[in-house]
Amino acid sequence: MCAINALRYRVNTYVFNDCHVDAHRRRLLILLSLMNEMEYHKLADEALANITQKLEKADEDGVIELEMEGGMVTIALESGKQFIVSKHAPTRQLWLSSPLSGGLHFSYDEAQKDWRLPDAKKLTAVLFSELAQIAGVVL
């Protein structure tokens, strides 16, 4: 995080008065973009792993089937209903597909260190609440 903030500072504080600085600025912006993408994937992968781990611990009765593959967690219920939490890299979001709420898009809130909707609802709170309603899995 410190390296990214340092790069943002360097990009925003340069005085552009010749083509060498412009080329340097472009390289910094490319690097900053790549680092943001790497940071996104790290945070998203951690969130997906955390969700999977919590669900595995909470599912004592074996009412859900979990599969984590390729940046996506699929939660299949005995009733045939499914929840899917997946990475959406172009928008730097995590998407939730739910039989109750439909499709929701969560962005990372840097201040809260969590994935949230624009109305501040947390991804885990929405997912776990809906799982409790449908499958009785309490987290």
The strands making up 114-116's β-sheet, listed across from edge to edge, are 64-69, 72-77, 82-88, 93-98, 102-109, 114-116
Instruction: Please give the Cα distance from 23 to 104 (Å, whole number).
Output: 39
Residue given tokens 């790497």 in the structure block: 38
pTM, two decimal places = 0.75
The DSSP 8-state label assigned to residue 122 in this structure reads B
Residues of the chain with pLDDT under 70: 1-35
Query: Which domains are delineated in the chain?
Result: 2-135 (3.30.920.10)
Inter-residue contact 116 to 122 (CB < 8 Å): yes
Q: pLDDT exceeding 70 applies to what percent of the chain?
A: 75
pLDDT digits (tens, 9 = 90+) for 1-39: 444 444 444 444 443 344 455 666 666 566 556 558 899
Are 44 and 87 spatial neighbours (Cβ–Cβ below 8 Å)?
Answer: yes
